[in-house]
A and B are shown apart, each in its own frame.
Chain A
Amino acid sequence: AQRVTQPEKLLSVFKGAPVELKCNYSYSGSPELFWYVQYSRQRLQLLLRHISRESIKGFTADLNKGETSFHLKKPFAQEEDSAMYYCALSLNTGFQKLVFGTGTRLLVSP
């Protein structure tokens, strides 16, 4: 069965430190993966998707099919990066049905 695992509930780092939020998935089809972010008192919003191979707000994520991972990375964390981050897998059904991980709260301290 399809599953997304985010092993860390909370990740606490200091400003300027590197950040890696882990995401592993289980899916027999061709994976389409996303990172969504929810800042305090804001809506859940798309951060990036693997198909775009883009860097958003300094964050990048590489799909590793061998390790079934899609970890989110940023070399230098900023205080405004503090938020809840969700990894999501889109099932290859011809339209988007998302399976979410349980989320990781990132706290960046000054």
Chain B
Amino acid sequence: NAGVTQTPKFQVLKTGQSMTLQCAQDMNHEYMSWYRQDPGMGLRLIHYSVGAGITDQGEVPNGYNVSRSTTEDFPLRLLSAAPSQTSVYFCASAAGLSSYNEQFFGPGTRLTVL
């Protein structure tokens, strides 16, 4: 059981480039989410999904797109990277949709936009 996996671990982009951060989970979890972690700001929710085909915006969605075609995968797309998107990105998943449920986090992707 790999849990939540994220690729790549590190990425450097130039301003204006696009890329996709991959996230997968093998726990058959309904709920998946993306957070960004910036110094002094904790983790902030970017987008989330409550099941295949269903996504919604979190606190800081601008500049990011998501889709959920399968239960397992929840990729995060940066359409045109900006230096303000330099951050550490975490994917998380949770079983069921109860607000009490534990979220399981991936190892993170450290993104630098020059």
Most buried by B among A44, A90, A92: A44
B44 touches A95 (CB 8 A): no
Which residues of chain A come closer than 8 Å to B100, judged between CB atoms? 32, 49, 51, 90, 96
Residues of A within 8 A of B (CB): 4, 9, 32, 43-46, 49, 51, 86, 90-103
A98 to B103, CA, bound (A): 9
The interface residues of chain A, by DSSP majority, are classed as strand
A91 to B45, CA, bound (A): 12
Which residues of chain B come closer than 8 Å to A100, judged between CB atoms? 35, 42-44
- Nearest-neighbour CB distance to chain A for B32, whole angstroms, equals 11
A/B pair count, beta carbons within 8 Å: 60
- Nearest-neighbour CB distance to chain B for A91, whole angstroms, equals 7
A45 to B70, CA, bound (A): 24
Which partner residue on chain B sits nearest A32 by CB separation? B99
Is B61's beta carbon under 8 Å from chain A? no
Most buried by A among B41, B99, B102: B99
- Nearest-neighbour CB distance to chain B for A26, whole angstroms, equals 14
B45 touches A98 (CB 8 A): yes
Most buried by A among B41, B42, B58, B97: B42
- Nearest-neighbour CB distance to chain A for B34, whole angstroms, equals 12
A95 touches B40 (CB 8 A): no
A95 touches B43 (CB 8 A): no
A102 touches B99 (CB 8 A): no
B103 touches A102 (CB 8 A): no
- Nearest-neighbour CB distance to chain A for B43, whole angstroms, equals 4
- Nearest-neighbour CB distance to chain B for A16, whole angstroms, equals 29
Residues of B16-54 at the interface with A, using a CB-CB cut-off of 8 Å, are 31, 33, 35, 40-45, 48, 50
Given contacts A94-B97, A95-B98, contact A45 B105 (CB under 8 A): yes
Which residues of chain B come closer than 8 Å to A99, judged between CB atoms? 45, 59
Given contacts A86-B42, A100-B44, contact A93 B99 (CB under 8 A): yes
